[in-house]
Amino acid sequence: MERMNRQILLNKRPKGFPDESAFKLIEKETPEPADDQVLVKAHYLSVDPYMRGRMSEAKSYAEPFEVGQPLKGGAVGEVIKSNHLDFLAGDFVTGLLDWADHTAVEGQSLRKIHPDAAPITTALYIAGMPGLTAYFGLLYIGQPQAGETVVISGAAGAVGMVVGQIAKMKGCRVVGIAGSEEKVNYLKKELNFDAVINYKESENISKALKEVVPGGVDIYFDNVGGEISDAVLLRLNFHARVVLCGQIAHYNDEKKEMGVRVLPYLLTRSVLLKGFIVRDYRDYFDEGMRDLAKWLNEGKIQYRENIVEGLENAPDAFLGLFRGDNIGKQLVKVS
């Protein structure tokens, strides 16, 4: 075990679009696990948009990070030392770990994973939070029916590309909205999306959307919000469902944005609009993990990871989520 432990701290609370000054890399002695704790060496960190909310002081479903303390996020790693009955050195685990080489963490907060069964990174994607978000958002809220049209914003991201593939499996017509030609080509050619709009190249998203969804939208899976959603919400069909998953276009807002007032339109079309946090469905996680693993093994869903090497590059990988650097799941390989 290395004596020194690198950690990335929240240096200050960012205002607006964050930059590297929000983070600080330090070295401290590697902690000793207390009773019932284990010491975990991180192998991969998950870099997630919701962490932006935790960097601010505003109250939300997750506690704010503390200034001067390590950031924390989903991770997979290896137990180095265990003071917990359920874990032995050499076990692979997933849970919330510091952005650090090592974390001393309560054993009960961890779940064992089996590197022989699947690559360990799948615990952070298809068999983890983003895969389950796609699964429950689309199937439990969206309730897709064959022949329906599903529009997905943030379509080439971790959640979006899984939503699209499940919707295709259910016999839907799938339209993605994403921010580069590379993403458009990937979704169309590799994942068989029926149409994809590059919103960064489109002068008028409403017009572009009208061309690809002439029959309107039955399900809108929203990862983004902002002007993209303004355009999609006005094309919803009678009894459409809006799955409110993420609003990344607003995470760096310094003042509240006023978009189109859509509620009268939604009312007269009997639209269901439902926000959710994936953990709302925790009682059903086993079902979601079982189905996702089965579809993966059967080749019915594919996944793509964007892996940045080195703990020191985790802040830039995080900032890249807001620049649109990633196709699929953004991960950091720690060492």
Ligand X SMILES: NC(=O)c1ccc[n+]([C@@H]2O[C@H](COP(=O)([O-])OP(=O)(O)OC[C@H]3O[C@@H](n4cnc5c(N)ncnc54)[C@H](OP(=O)(O)O)[C@@H]3O)[C@@H](O)[C@H]2O)c1
Binding of residue 179 to ligand X (CB under 6 A): yes
Binding of residue 278 to ligand X (CB under 6 A): yes
Instruction: Work out how close the CB of 243 gets to ligand X at its nearest, in angstroms, rounded to a whole number.
Output: 9
Sequence-separated (6 or more) residues with CB below 8 Å from residue 69: 9, 10
Q: How many residues bind ligand X (CB under 6 A)?
A: 33
- Answer for which of 37, 48, 148, 311 binds ligand X (CB under 6 A) is 48
The C-alpha atoms of residue 213 and residue 209 are separated, in whole angstroms, by: 6
> Mask 185-224, x = binds ligand X (CB under 6 A)?
--------------------------------------xx
Binding of residue 80 to ligand X (CB under 6 A): no
Binding of residue 296 to ligand X (CB under 6 A): no
- Answer for which of 144, 154, 288, 315 binds ligand X (CB under 6 A) is 154
CB atoms within 10 A of CB 128: 24
At 324, which amino acid appears? G
Binding of residue 180 to ligand X (CB under 6 A): yes
- Answer for which of 131, 144, 246, 288 binds ligand X (CB under 6 A) is 246
Sequence-separated (6 or more) residues with CB below 8 Å from residue 241: 141, 142, 143, 218, 219, 220, 271, 272, 273, 274
Binding of residue 39 to ligand X (CB under 6 A): no
> Mask 219-238, x = binds ligand X (CB under 6 A)?
----xx-x-x----------
Work out the burial of residue 294: count CB atoms within 10 Å of its CB; fewer than 13 is exposed, 13-18 middle, 19 or more buried. Answer: exposed
102/168 with CB nearer ligand X? 168
- Answer for which of 40, 159, 271, 314 binds ligand X (CB under 6 A) is 159
- What are the helix (H) ranges across 88-169? 129-135, 158-169
